[in-house]
A and B are shown apart, each in its own frame.
Chain A
Amino acid sequence: MTKPPRPGDTDGRSITRRGLMLAGIQLGVVTTLALKLRSMQVEQAEQYRMLADGNSIKIRLLVPARGLIHDRNGIVIAGNEQNYRVTLAREEAGGDVEPVLRRLARLIPISDARMAELLDEFAKRSAVTPIVLADRLTWEQFSSIAVNAPSLAGVTPESGLSRVYPRAGDLAHVLGYVGPVSDYDLSKIEDPDPVLMLPEFQLGKVGFEARMEDVLRGKAGQRRVEVNSAGREMRQLSRQEGDQGATVQMTIDAQLQNYAAQRMGTESAAAVVMDCQTGDIVTICSSPSFDPNKFVRGISSSDYKALMNHDHRPLADKTVQGVYPPGSTFKMVTLMAGLEAGVINAGTRFYCPGHTEVGGRRFHCWRRGGHGSVDAVTSLSHSCDVYYYELAQKVGIDRIAAMARRLGLGQRHDLPMSAVAEGIAPDRAWKQARHGQSWQVGDSLNASIGQGYVLASPLQLAVMTARIATGLEIRPRLVRAIDGVAQPVPEFPDMGLNPAFLRVARLGMDEVMNSASGTARRSRIIREGWRMAGKTGTSQVRNITAAERARGVVSNDQLPWNRRDHALFVCYAPYEAPRYAVSVVVEHGGGGSAVAAPVARDILLFALNGGLPPLDAVPDDQRAAMKERHDAMHLFAPEAPRLTRA
């Protein structure tokens, strides 16, 4: 579409005059640039040429020491160690690196595969980028290379610091690890710090190390060096060290973490211990684990494959990434929703014949024979499913979901860790948005006992337990102090739940452990003042088919491992003055009371005792087994060697 032709300049719409003025201004600028170029390149060329030829001082950056990470008691859980290595830039080897590498291979072992890898790397990177040829050399190897330097053109022996994790696998998931900067890392950072280009720089890759990168990195130092015309360093003129990154103290207790890891052993499991007063995450442990030091040093592909192919998924952080149907541990949520909504009170009873019929479908209680008449407290202590089926129909899913969110489920608790999951607290709107289907009453029944669409991470379950135990809106945290400056503990607001209703839920959890017919009575604590309250959960990971039901209940032991139920347990203690909340999930472990509860109880005891659980705190028939377990453990000494500030 063209506009009708316009009359000439007279109406002021033409830009000819101003366009010409603009052209004049631009020409003026270009002329200025040209004149400046002429003065520099033609008139003063000689001076600049002399400066260029004498230009032999270069600035090289020094990698700053990475900040240390301490546990809450000052034990170093991420430190730095001395590392000897050799680097080479293709240009400094005169362009052809292979003969240099062959000569080097006579001094230190370089496998043929490694040789091929290095040559490939040299071909890919620019000629001036130094590449690490060998790492973690012994002092003997290092000095033999230094002595033979004349025959190894361009090979530069260097000593620097490298990250080390003294507690190996214990804290692997929460800390994450560092590694060399990859091209992919750089592509994600706009205008990266030049220190990232140095071959020995280590960048936080995952977990706490990655999320706290800015705090831990520090500031690069500088070195002025004189180089010869080939670019080879002749001598150092000055050296200004950088600033080490900040020392970060975490809320983790490394000893408790260590015990939790040992207690879970080879199970595929997760445990979280939270301080009910401060929200401090005292332990956050995923099992099985891996050695992060292997990643720092460059993990071999066979080791990596073994980790990837392990059916217990050691690389996954089950504490915050893993989400599970919470099973019966969710019942406190449903109960609180019912009490707060006023559809029941503590004395309201439902009759449990072992099942209930809704919409022509039969929903079973875990106990086939039924529980008979059940009230609020016994519904928890006996974990009666039918009670919750009845309650769910009265209270409705939206109020249950709202209560779940108030208690910390279905929301992301932003800890400085990788891939913290949000979980799911399903309601009508969620199902419509996610599945495009309307909510069915059967969905409510499943959700009421923590099955169906409900998903929660062990972290969220610990937060939920702490919130029930205190009535306060506790939020978790991982950082206790940075460079000695304590992070303030926030004043947690009251959740606004009726204290009488909270007492009902707590009493139910108390009876789970301490009443004669409680589902987790075997795992109770018998020491005065440490009385423990808890809730078991067993969540199905498969649907029981009608055919299976007809054949009778299939025992977990007869199923393949990955189809068995998840065992869950949440608890806190002391009952009267809550100090720690604990959640434990054992993937495909079987029953919550038999498998998860003893683990949670032992971890809780360690936390309360500040050391190995005292045998007299558990019922006497379990003491021998506990003693045997302790003897078999390989625990770090309580006073682990502290690394000096390197």
Chain B
Amino acid sequence: MSYLDYKVAQTPTGIRKILHLNWPLVFLIAAVASIGFLMLVSVAGGRVDTWAEPQMYRFAAGMVIMIALAFVPMWFWRGISVPAYVCCFLLLIAVELVGTIGMGAQRWIDIGPIRLQPSELMKIALVLLLAAYYDWLPARRVSRPLWVLIPVVLILAPTGLVLIQPDLGTSIMLVAGGGIVMFAAGVSLWYFGVVIAAAVGLVVAVLESRGTDWQLLKDYQFRRIDTFLDPTADPLGAGYNIIQSQIALGSGGWSGRGFMQGTQSRLNFLPEKHTDFIFTVLAEEFGFVGAMSLLALYTLIIGFCLYSALTNRDRFAALITVGISGTFFLYFSINMATVMGLLPAKGSPLPLVSYGGTSLMILMLGFGLVQAAHVHRPR
């Protein structure tokens, strides 16, 4: 709740809504983004204009979008949940049909200067639709098989389309994001138990399928699994990135080597320093203290979101907040686990920190929804 709550007991209207934003959350987001700018300056060898400056402009635009979205009342979001999902779904199909082919994966549509990545938008649209669904569904039906099947189909349909792009990472994010909303909505734990058991079975099947003619993953995906299981087996080939990343991270020590003093990142041992491996640069240059600070900031963001959700009596708003913060949580935990060698490398950005426009805009759009849920909560 906002610190101003004691003053106004009614839902705010008009411009006064700005006083009711979740301000701590705004400052936390800005703090994380600022760490990002600092690291982008560092990986550019001290230059601001290479990566940091464009990223600042994007972040500023993202902030404006977030605050603008915070003013939009919940009835609107509830109303567009179905059309938004349908649009994203159609766009995903359109990507399949006309999408530009890049690196063997069809992921985006060019509309003039704008590059649209429908799978990213789908992450938000899916949370929105599932939240609206569980808001509409009477609580006693939540765990009935038929009423569980519907959201499962709603999650799996776009996931299937993303999977054939092929984009395994985003498919997992969609399933996990949708699962979080279902979990929060109170779907019986038995279902989750069954799904997890099935997933374990599937992983076994995938690994068994290797080399047979019903092979379930592409060769490069299998190689990533190998690299994950034993990066030292091929230290100069596929395992190179992960080993270099771990060396850089570990050598940061307690307090790090100092700003722009990281030898591993300076000497180009690290790949993708400004995107997927930016956490490594932070950990090398600012050490355990720096890395933990960022982790703490992320945790606080999740904490403030969850607190906002738990105190929100509007079920739709609460589910949106949980779903979006859950997606955000997946983003940063997957990226950190990857660079530390806890998960196979799959190329994901560190939210609010990595260089890149699309993921930043989607995140800020999501936080705009969280803010709107907060501002318009029933008093």
Residue numbers of A with Cβ under 8 A of B are 1-6, 11-23, 26-27, 29-30, 32-34, 36-38, 40-42, 44-45, 47-49, 51-53, 55, 57-59, 90-91, 126-128, 189-194, 222, 224, 227, 229, 231
Residue numbers of B with Cβ under 8 A of A are 11, 44-47, 50, 73-75, 102-103, 105, 107-108, 139-140, 142, 180, 183-186, 236, 240, 244, 246-254, 263-264, 266-269, 271, 283, 287-288, 291-292, 295, 298-299, 302-303, 306, 309-310, 313-315, 318-319, 322, 326, 329, 333, 336-337, 340, 342, 347, 376, 378-379
- Do the beta carbons of B250 and A3 come within 8 Å of each other? no
- For the complex, give the distance between the alpha carbons of A157 and B105 in Å: 37
12 additional contacts (CB under 8 A) given A22-B322, A58-B268, A191-B105: A2-B376, A5-B378, A6-B313, A15-B315, A20-B310, A34-B292, A41-B288, A42-B288, A45-B252, A51-B250, A189-B102, A227-B267
Chain B residues within an 8 Å CB radius of A3 = 313-314, 378
- Do the beta carbons of A33 and B302 come within 8 Å of each other? no
Name B247's contact: one of A30, A48, A90, A189 (CB within 8 Å).
A48
- For the complex, give the distance between the alpha carbons of A41 and B291 in Å: 10
CB-based closest 10 A-B pairs = A48-B250, A12-B139, A127-B45, A52-B251, A45-B253, A41-B288, A48-B251, A40-B250, A190-B102, A1-B75
Closest A residue to B182 by beta carbon equals A18
- Do the beta carbons of A49 and B333 come within 8 Å of each other? no
Q: How far is the CB of B166 from chain A (nearest CB, A)?
A: 13
- Do the beta carbons of A19 and B283 come within 8 Å of each other? no
Chain A residues within an 8 Å CB radius of B105 = 190-191
- Do the beta carbons of A13 and B139 come within 8 Å of each other? yes
- Do the beta carbons of A190 and B108 come within 8 Å of each other? yes
- For the complex, give the distance between the alpha carbons of A45 and B284 in Å: 11
- Do the beta carbons of A45 and B250 come within 8 Å of each other? yes
Q: How far is the CB of B238 from chain A (nearest CB, A)?
A: 11
Q: How far is the CB of B277 from chain A (nearest CB, A)?
A: 13
- Do the beta carbons of B333 and A15 come within 8 Å of each other? no
- For the complex, give the distance between the alpha carbons of A3 and B378 in Å: 7
Closest B residue to A20 by beta carbon equals B310
Name A45's contact: one of B45, B254, B376 (CB within 8 Å).
B254
- Do the beta carbons of A23 and B142 come within 8 Å of each other? no
- Do the beta carbons of B340 and A40 come within 8 Å of each other? yes
Q: How far is the CB of B341 from chain A (nearest CB, A)?
A: 8
Q: How far is the CB of A203 from chain B (nearest CB, A)?
A: 14
- For the complex, give the distance between the alpha carbons of A55 and B268 in Å: 11
- For the complex, give the distance between the alpha carbons of A49 and B298 in Å: 27
- Do the beta carbons of B251 and A15 come within 8 Å of each other? no
- Do the beta carbons of A37 and B291 come within 8 Å of each other? yes
Once A1-B73, A11-B139 are accepted as A-B contacts, the answer to whether A33 and B184 lie under 8 Å apart by CB is no
- For the complex, give the distance between the alpha carbons of A32 and B302 in Å: 16
- For the complex, give the distance between the alpha carbons of A10 and B74 in Å: 24
- Do the beta carbons of B246 and A37 come within 8 Å of each other? no
A-B contact pairs, 29 of them (CB 8 A): A1-B73, A3-B378, A4-B378, A12-B139, A12-B186, A13-B315, A15-B315, A19-B309, A22-B322, A26-B326, A27-B299, A30-B295, A33-B342, A36-B337, A41-B249, A41-B253, A45-B251, A45-B252, A45-B253, A48-B247, A49-B250, A52-B248, A55-B263, A57-B236, A58-B269, A59-B236, A189-B103, A227-B267, A231-B266
- For the complex, give the distance between the alpha carbons of A5 and B329 in Å: 30
- For the complex, give the distance between the alpha carbons of A238 and B184 in Å: 55
- Do the beta carbons of B102 and A52 come within 8 Å of each other? no
Once A5-B378, A15-B184, A47-B250 are accepted as A-B contacts, the answer to whether A41 and B283 lie under 8 Å apart by CB is yes
- For the complex, give the distance between the alpha carbons of A19 and B315 in Å: 12
Closest A residue to B267 by beta carbon equals A231
- Do the beta carbons of A33 and B253 come within 8 Å of each other? no
Closest A residue to B78 by beta carbon equals A1
Q: How far is the CB of B96 from chain A (nearest CB, A)?
A: 16
- Do the beta carbons of A51 and B251 come within 8 Å of each other? yes
- For the complex, give the distance between the alpha carbons of A13 and B315 in Å: 7
- For the complex, give the distance between the alpha carbons of A384 and B117 in Å: 56
- For the complex, give the distance between the alpha carbons of A224 and B254 in Å: 32
- For the complex, give the distance between the alpha carbons of A192 and B271 in Å: 13
